[in-house]
Amino acid sequence: MGRIMAIDFGTKRIGIAVTDPLKMIANGLGTVTAENSMTFLEEYMRKEAVECVVIGKPNSDGRGGDLSKLADDFCFKMKKKFPSLKIARIDEFYTSKLAERTMIQSGINKTARRDKALVDKISATIILQSYLELINS
């Protein structure tokens, strides 16, 4: 048994969140540049057991365009690099706005809220929490 990981895919960086070993709590892990993402994931999975990676599906309304295609390509690369790993997709529509709202409600100041890496990490956590609610309902 391993953790569940979530990825908020982006062309510049990806936000990453993981569960605790019991798969009960979603925690933001951090962000990495898109170009270093596979190296980071390999290193992390060497240290920690991960049984499933949840990757956000951008704009499920059919207007995803290039980002949606790039996210699909990223999923394909993940499956090729980690063939035994379960990969799940979940709608990530509105997660960035939810992340921004969460930061405001948490009292994070305006300067810190401009940190796109923080938004991506919180978005990945929201994606993971949504997935946990989905599989546990």
Q: DSSP class of residue 34?
A: G
Residue 108: pLDDT band (50, 70, 90) is: confident
Domain made up of 3-135: CATH architecture: 2-Layer Sandwich (3.30)
pTM: 0.87
Question: For residue 123, which of 2, 1, 13, 38 has the smallest C-alpha distance?
Answer: 13
H-type alpha helices, 5-115: 37-47, 65-81, 95-105, 110-113
| Residue 61 scores a pLDDT above 80 | no
Across the beta sheet with 86-91, the strand order is 26-33, 13-19, 3-8, 50-57, 86-91
Q: According to the model, what pLDDT value does residue 47 have?
A: 96
Residue 33: phi and psi, rounded to 5, are -65, 150
